[in-house]
Amino acid sequence: MTPLLNVGLVGFGYAGRTLHAPLIRATPGLRLAAVASRDAATVHAALGAEVVVHGSAETMIDDAPLDLIVLASPNATHAPLARRALQAGRHVVIDKPMALDATEAAPLLPLAREAARVLSVFHNRRFDGDFLTAQALLAAGTLGRITEARLHFDRFRPQVRARWRESGEAGGGLWADLSPHLLDQALQLFGEPIGLSADLMRLRDGAASDDAFECRLRFAGGLRVTLAASMLAALPGPRFALHGTRGSWMSWPLDPQEDALKAGMAPEALPPAAGELCVAGADGGEPQCRPWPTQPGRWRDYYGLMRDAMLGLGPNPVPPEQACRVLALQDLGRAADAARRELPC
């Protein structure tokens, strides 16, 4: 029988309550045993009285009999709490981004190796249906050689909200929040870029941090990949757009798993996002366009893979080295924005 692994969740805000808690509880072999939160009543109302609530992350990490610590706390706390959890002998999952920058994250890697513990980062967008579909199209060569790609997160939230993600504090802003998803997906799909330029913007009235960005990655062979996000896109464009020598594929809107979780549904309960594929006809003739099935998303796979990694039964679903590479490109994006030019990767 598979051993039951006890999980402690740090933070019960949006990410902890809406994403991590339901996914952990839906994973056989994992038991959400404890939560670090100042609002015990909210935790117990959502998860039941059997979940132990600790007033501080430090107390839960140090004293509770837990196998895995999941950090869904503000970004500035990720590296310090991950260090404490590893030193306490816990496996660790960090919600993206892994740390404020690559320099802060780097010492965690040897610490995890010395402790013989699994350190992983929750890059859940690797399990989006549209990303999985893009991977399959590239692997099959359906679009030929990819010459251009656009990956977007478009939202319409014109009012600045009073929350840490939109404040001017360390770890806030849209670049810190959404570029990890897009950069990670680009690295997984296309490999290492050779140049990066970025424009980080404040577009909303009263914005205290960047609320839009456009980043361009240049690859050997001529491929250009544009990553963009905005809080002022009332008419969102395609989530994915891939253009190649044999055709194009687009997919929109955003993968529905997050909306399903917000509504209290299972991630697979909603239909996948729509897609359209246009490929060249025989002998390069006029493109033939048709709806293209988008694969179902599989966010639940992450915690199943994490469970297996802790038991020595499989690989780490998102190794920290890969998350550090994402952070390095985030750091480079900030430098490129300040320099107003492309910088070499």
Counts for the chain of helices (H) and strands (E), in that order: 12, 15
Q: Which residues contact 62 (CB under 8 A, 6 or more apart)?
A: 84, 88
| Contact between 240 and 225 (Cβ < 8 Å) | no
Hey, do 5-122+301-316 and 126-298 end up sharing a CATH topology, with the first three levels equal?
no
* Alpha carbon distance 202, 198 (integer Å): 13
Structure tokens at 37: 């939160």
Give, for all 345 residues of the chain, the pLDDT tens digit.
668 999 999 999 999 999 999 999 999 999 999 999 999 999 999 999 999 999 999 999 999 899 999 999 999 999 999 999 999 999 999 999 999 999 999 999 999 999 999 999 999 999 999 999 999 999 999 999 999 999 999 999 999 998 888 988 889 999 999 999 999 999 999 999 999 999 999 999 999 999 999 999 999 999 999 999 999 999 988 999 999 999 999 998 889 999 999 998 887 777 777 799 999 877 777 889 999 999 999 999 999 999 999 999 999 999 999 999 999 999 999 999 999 999 999
- Strands ordered across the beta sheet of 224-230: 288-291, 274-279, 247-252, 240-244, 146-154, 224-230, 212-218, 195-201, 343-344
Q: Which CATH superfamily is domain 126-298 in?
A: Dihydrodipicolinate Reductase; domain 2 (3.30.360.10)
Q: What residue segments make up the domains of the chain, in order of their start?
A: 5-122+301-316, 126-298
Q: Could you count the other beta carbons within 10 Å of the beta carbon of residue 13? A: 15
> Is the whole model's pTM more than 0.85, yes or no?
yes
Q: 17 exposed, middle or buried (CB, 10 Å; 0-12, 13-18, 19+)?
A: buried
Report the alpha-carbon distance of residue 72 to residue 147 in Å, rounded: 37
Let me know if domain 5-122+301-316 sits in CATH 3.40.50.720.
Answer: yes
Do residues 129 and 296 touch, judged by C-beta distance below 8 A?
Answer: yes
Question: What is the torsion angle, in degrees rounded to the nearest 10, for the CA atoms of residue 313, residue 315, residue 318 and residue 320?
Answer: 110
CA–CA dist 141, 135 (Å, integer): 10
